[in-house]
A and B are shown apart, each in its own frame.
Chain A
Amino acid sequence: MPVLPVARYTAPAIALHWLLAVAILASMAVGAYMSELPGITPSKLRLYNWHKWAGITILALSLLRLAWRLSHKPPPLPQRIEFAMPRWQLAAYHATHGLMYLLFFAVPLMGWAYSSMAGFPVVWFGVLPLPDFVPVDKELAKLLKPVHGWMAYTLLALVVLHVAAALKHQFVDRDGLLARMRPGRG
């Protein structure tokens, strides 16, 4: 069956999708690695700060992405694909996207809150001091520290699901759905 052309996302949406995919996965990898390092060394401190700067950048880009998404309707699922999908798959498709969007904001905000609570205000790229939106509370910080990690792993699980579904469409269903988000020209 020839693969029919599908309506693509806009170029900014595609750019933000891939940029954030790389930034989020890299930030997760750094976060998982740095939190296992013992003691305090300059390289560990550097990683923690890079991670915070990346997190704030992801937060800002996610805001931009959300604004773009709300002002630019994403292309609808091609009818032949939508009709081929069972109801539960459609529900899972919307739920996964919704939850991922929620976590794009929740994970960095939680990290920022934790940092502030622990008494380390975030200074973006070592230059721009960001406000603390929660007061310093080291006891609460200790309790909330793992929550940031759990939320990040939840996001990672959703990403895995998202990628698995995309690969299924590409290699099992062979329905050409990935063309909607493939980088480059249509």
Chain B
Amino acid sequence: MIRTLSATLAALAAAALLVAAGPAAAQAKLVPAQSSIAFTSKQLGVPVDGEFKKFDAQVAFDPKNPAAGRLALTVDTASATLGVPEADAELPTPTWFSAARFPQASFQSSAIKALGGGRFEVAGKLTIKGTVRDLVVPVQLTQAGGQSTATGSFAIQRLAFKIGDGEWADTSMVANDVQVRFKLVLTGLAPL
């Protein structure tokens, strides 16, 4: 009886502690001006850099409890730019990002794993142009001056998402592999 009671009390105390700790982590805030999502494709072997000007991130993440962390990223597909007006006029068309039909691309984490040394592995679903693909992204987290910076890169295959359809599907012209590099600067993240 007493054993049961103490066990119950212990469980309650643990629950209370969890509640006191609040949600696994407070919402961090993205600092867009210092963040970037860039990509590099290859046209006839020539690396061509581009970036998304507009995106947002919802991050609830405690580096000490990564498994409970959540990360959601949304990217405005119409904000894609190669810095070349002629190319930028093409990117929102149905051939590329089809920005009118699919205004946003997104990434939703499903599992975050610590690898040590501020490195994490974020698994989740990447949705572009209505196509969903599993993605595992290595992320390096550094902290300084109250800001956390998450950086990393990964490769996607553009044709899996029908980015560059029709006459542009020829991978001898534009390579299938596209490198994506991100730098997300966040405030309000718990210390590492």
Contacts and interface: CB of A to CB of B under 8 A. Distances in A.
A81 interface: no
A43 to B, nearest CB: 9
Interface in B40-76: 43-49
Contact of A40 (B44, B45, B90): B90
Identify whether the interface residues of A are mostly helix, strand, loop, or mixed: loop
Contact size class for B? 10 to 19
Given A39-B86, A39-B90, A40-B86, A46 B44 contact: yes
Interface stretch (B27-35, B150-158, B165-173): B165-173
B159 to A, nearest CB: 15
A126 B46 CA distance: 7
A38 B83 CA distance: 17
A46 B48 contact: no
Contacts of A120: 46, 48
Contacts of A127: 45
Place the interface of chain A in its size category.
10 to 19
Contacts of B90: 39-40
Contacts of A123: 44-46
B83 A138 contact: yes
B46 A42 contact: no
Contacts of A40: 86-87, 90
13 contacts: A40-B87, A42-B173, A45-B43, A46-B173, A49-B43, A49-B46, A119-B48, A123-B44, A123-B45, A126-B44, A126-B46, A127-B45, A129-B45
Interface of B: 43-49, 83-84, 86-87, 89-90, 167-168, 170, 173
Given A39-B86, A49-B46, A119-B84, 4 more contacts: A40-B87, A49-B44, A119-B83, A126-B45
